[in-house]
Structure formats: structure tokens, C-alpha cells
Amino acid sequence: HVNLKGRDLLELDDYTTEEIQYLLDLAVELKRKQKNGEVYQPLKGKTIGLIFEKSSTRTRVSFEVGAFQLGAHALFLSKNDIQLGRGEIISDTAQVLSRYLDGIMIRTFGHHNVVDLAEYASVPVINGLSDLAHPCQVLADFQTIYEQKGALKGLKLAYIGDGNNMAHSLMIGGAKLGVHVSIASPEGYEPDPEVVKQSREIAKQTGAEIVVTRSPQEAVKDADAIYTDVWASMGFEEEQKIREAAFKNYQVDEELVKGAKSDYLFMHCLPAHRGEEVSAGVIDGKNSVIFDQAENRLHAQKALMAALMG
């Protein structure tokens, strides 16, 4: 009885636990169909526009391929190649694109761009990463954990590093799904206090515990999954040197992971920097599920497109 037709996805707090669980189950089902060679094209004849203001490997390719597999056509719209890059306003862009397309994905800097686009578009808008949130990645991540562990509720995920878009969406998603999330960040790089507050509010419904600490050792203690992300996100490249200094004690390495459960999953949204946020031994080791996460972007976003645009 879950029906997401016509909805936007700006961040996972837009959705109930039941709706997120529905998307994860659908993602698993669509993955099975794809592996069995079953053709499933509920979006035949439909179109989705993909607006990119930042670089992308996974998001672009998984949305384009996913749309194709569902029978839809995807248009790659680099911000600099459309009039948006020359100052055409978001509200006009949203209303024009809504006359052609059945859905729009946007990857941008300021989250307000996603909010504005959704406000003025009459078709579903999907956040393909903003400085605040990365909900598509987190759908794929929880699908991956679910596949590996057979459950989500009551598990513990530790996130080590920058309190960025990934940290935020993992906290919100974890809170919704009953997964305990511990974030360890250095001073000045903590997650947004508003998002922490909001996650804790959501977590009251599911029993999840949301912890923010300075200590990577405390965060990884008995963790089922250890997650990290780049120290300098897109748009922060010029801070690389200052950040390397601030984050030097926050590398996920062989010593740190000893504190987690022995069957812990190492997770990273990618792209990664070996020798910075993670050692080569850990990211390329036997506990790493990074390529399952990357693959699941395809399946999770197919579920999302089918549910919103079908």
C-alpha cells in the first residue's frame, strides 16, 4: 500500500520508515530481475533529465543505465551547457523542464537549489547530491548492509571523518531504519547540529542511537559497518592541505578497525583517496564492500525512478 508516485526525494526525512523499506525491497527485487535477464520496463516512453553542476562517475552512469533498463530515456544536462549556467533562474528552468520531462535529478552545491527546483517543477525531483545530503547513495548503502547482514535494525554503523553530506544522510537514514550511527569528526568538521537534532528526533520512533564524538576508537567500537568519505568534498578542494592536517588522526586503517566486530563491513561512497581517509589495506581488504555499494546505486535508483515516475 506504499505509493510514492509523483513524490520528490530531497533527503530521506521526506519518507517514512515503511516507504524507505519499500524502496529497499524493490531495489533487491529489481536487482534479482536484472541478474536473471528479465526485462522490466515500467517507464517505457518516459524521460528523466540529469542536471550536473559537479563531476560524477557513479551517479551519472547509474541513472543513465537505470533509466534505459526501465525503458526510459535519460538526458545528461551539464549545468554549463544549459542556460542555468548563464543565469537562467531555477524556477523558469524547473517549469520549462517539467513540460518535457517525467522526472529531474539534480547534483548541485547549495541544497536550496534542490528545494527550489522541487518547488517549481511539477514532476518528481531527485537529489543526486547537494552539500547537505546524498540520499541516493544512502539507499544503496542500506541495501548493501541489508544484503550482507540480513537485517538493519539494531546494527551499528560508525562514520569516521568529515561531517558532510554523507554523514548527514547516513544519520537520517540510520535513524529512520533503526540503525545506530556514531559519527567521529575532528573539531570544526562536525555534522550540522540541526541534522543531528533532527536525526535524534526521528530515532525516538525506531530506537536508533545517534552519537557524535571526537574519538574514532569510540565510534568504531563493536561496529557492524565502518564508513568513511573524502576529507575534502567537491567545492572544498582548495582546503585540501588544511584538511589533511585536521583529519590526520581520522584515517580508517588496520589498527582502528580492530575495535569493530570481526565481520565488520568497510564502506565508502567513492571516489576514495588511499592513504588519506582510508589505508589501502582496509579499502582493498576482505571486509570491503565498496563495489557492491557502487553497483547498488543502479538498483536502488531504478527502484526510486520506478516508484516516483511509474
Indicate whether 57 belongs to the interface with ligand CP (CB under 6 A): yes
Nearest-approach distance from CB 129 to ligand NVA, in angstroms: 6
Nearest-approach distance from CB 304 to ligand NVA, in angstroms: 17
Interface with ligand CP in residues 114-133 (CB under 6 A): 129
Q: Which residue stretch of 30-38, 110-118, 160-168, 276-284 sits at the interface with ligand NVA (rule: CB under 6 A)? A: 160-168
Q: Which residue stretch of 50-58, 86-94, 189-197, 302-310 sits at the interface with ligand CP (rule: CB under 6 A)? A: 50-58
Q: Which residue stretch of 57-65, 68-76, 201-209, 213-221 sits at the interface with ligand CP (rule: CB under 6 A)? A: 57-65
CB 121 within 8 A of CB 156: no
Nearest-approach distance from CB 232 to ligand NVA, in angstroms: 8
Nearest-approach distance from CB 171 to ligand CP, in angstroms: 17
Residue 57 interaction partner, one of ligand NVA, ligand CP, none, beta carbon < 5-8 Å per kind:
ligand CP
Looking at 47, 59, 130, 144, which residue binds ligand CP (CB under 6 A)? Answer: 59
Indicate whether 138 belongs to the interface with ligand NVA (CB under 6 A): no
Q: Which is nearer to ligand NVA, 138 or 282 (CB)?
A: 138
Q: Cα(166)–Cα(69) distance, rounded to whole angstroms? A: 27
Q: Cα(144)–Cα(186) distance, rounded to whole angstroms? A: 27
Looking at 56, 78, 213, 217, which residue binds ligand CP (CB under 6 A)? Answer: 56
Q: Which is nearer to ligand CP, 69 or 233 (CB)?
A: 233
Indicate whether 65 belongs to the interface with ligand CP (CB under 6 A): no
Whether residue 3 is annotated as binding a ligand: the answer is: no
Residue 108 interaction partner, one of ligand NVA, ligand CP, none, beta carbon < 5-8 Å per kind:
none
Looking at 113, 144, 165, 251, which residue binds ligand NVA (CB under 6 A)? Answer: 165
Interface with ligand NVA in residues 222-261 (CB under 6 A): 229-230, 233-234
Whether residue 273 is annotated as binding a ligand: the answer is: no
Question: What is the secondary structure of the chain as a DSSP string?
Answer: ----TT--BSSGGGS-HHHHHHHHHHHHHHHHHHHTT----TTTT-EEEEEESS--SHHHHHHHHHHHHTT-EEEEEEGGGSGGGGT--HHHHHHHHHHH-SEEEEE-SSHHHHHHHHHH-SS-EEES--SS--HHHHHHHHHHHHHHHS--TT-EEEEES--SHHHHHHHHHHHHHT-EEEEE--TT-PPPHHHHHHHHHHHHHHT--EEEES-HHHHHTT-SEEEE--SS-TT-GGGHHHHHHHTTT--B-TTGGGGS-TTPEEEE-S---BTTTB-HHHHTSTTB-HHHHHHHHHHHHHHHHHHHH-
Instruction: Note the residues at the interface with ligand NVA (CB under 6 A).
Output: 129, 164-166, 229-230, 233-234, 269
